[in-house]
Chains A and B, each alone.
Chain A
Amino acid sequence: MMTLMRHDHETDESFYKILEIRHLTGNAFSIRLPKARFAFKAGQHISLGIVGGNQSREYSIYSGENEENLEVLIKEVQNGYFTPQLRRLKIGRMLEVHGPFGKFGMEPGKAEKGKFVFIASGTGIAPFRSIIRTYPNIDYRLIHGVKTLEEAYDSHEYEKSRYVLCTSREKTGDYHGRLTGYLKTCTFAPDTQFDLCGNSEMIFDALEILKGKGFSRDQIHCEVYF
């Protein structure tokens, strides 16, 4: 690995300077880093560490494959160890990035041929934004489950007819209740491919619903968040 000397500490190709922090809600934010030569497939995740720290966490990439920046979407965990530190970081600080990792996302050549239903809870929307920005002509329907309207991160970017917001704590979304409640009411074409990203409970329940509707497990792809 190429080694460079920058500032007062040794850095290498894994070190990225924070370019921008977008505060999306009271506790959710995105961090933009220079993409440079970092190559990834939409849907993959990276490992992020704070330079000088001893821990790292994995985050799905929030930006598209061909964009100038590499962006991740983060929700601060109350009383957590890592995300409060991330949130306090200023523009110009260095982050250590490893990856990309994972097989979640589009199989080569499939994105513009199939019908996709993306099912996300909370920040689990990140890989789907990356996929949609990478494949603008993709035939998708995005079902996003959150507690309140403010968690509909960057929802204005999606075509209204393709995006369904399910809000469980208030009646501000397209559907009032958990996304699994909405899912039960849906019908899908038999050849639909499903991609799920979010916490394990949501994924378990959604899997049961989809299997109950007759879809094969091979049509359903999951990325578990915590």
Chain B
Amino acid sequence: MTMSQAQRGWLERLGAKVLGGFRYVGGMSLMLGDTLRWTVLGLVSPRVRLGRRAIAEQLVRVGVRSLGIVVLVQLFIGVILALQMTPPLRDPWRQEAMIPNIIGEAGFRMLGPILTAVVITGFAGASIAAEIGTMVVAEEIEAMEAIALNPVRFLVVPRFWATFLAMILLSVVADLCIALGGHITALLVLGPTVYEGYWTRMQRQLDMLDFTTGLIQAGVFGTLISLIACYEGLKVRGGAEGVGRATTMTVVYSIVAIIIAACVFTVVFYVYKL
């Protein structure tokens, strides 16, 4: 059986996409390896400075500057969850008192980290890709390499650790804001059945594992965002158009990667009853 020209073209395109995917993941894995290698070298070798000041600057940029928007978004998520859950729980089950349990479980385990990651992707991921991409266009990366300075060490390592730490810290804030949003809604709209004993019921529902699994996910999401943003930035070609493409692809790929990672985590937690 012979293939038609159209079938061959389709297969070739599919093959090229798959190969491109492997190349992308391979490139990011190498960059992650390089990032960890420079981190270890920075910790053990006095000749390699880790750039703690650069990490602090990036932490302010990624974490502190996005704090306001994370708080705002997560408060509204708490409000939405409380209002969406109430009708089906109230009629006919009269179980609206369970709302803090659900908000706590959903917020701490998944919604806090995942929505924070989406906010950070748009807020910091795109900006990291644009910044590094602009440096590529302005020949700064080439200049860095020409004076024997490794761009991964100087650019990726601070952004990687700053995004990783910021995601974990912001997730804690996010968890509390979702819970607070639900409480405010209960207080102003849903009545005493929900708000009386709100915090106690939430506390009883949650254990340490719910909190830590959320933080682990936050760390992984932070890793994905920083790696994708730095990788997209470093492979910019073609001037301003290339920078624009890099920022767009950073947001798209990061969100896809975050959702896939969240799905994998959920399956693992379900299978192992975590």
Instruction: Verify that A and B bind, or say they do not.
Output: no
Chain A residues close to B by CB (< 8 Å):
none
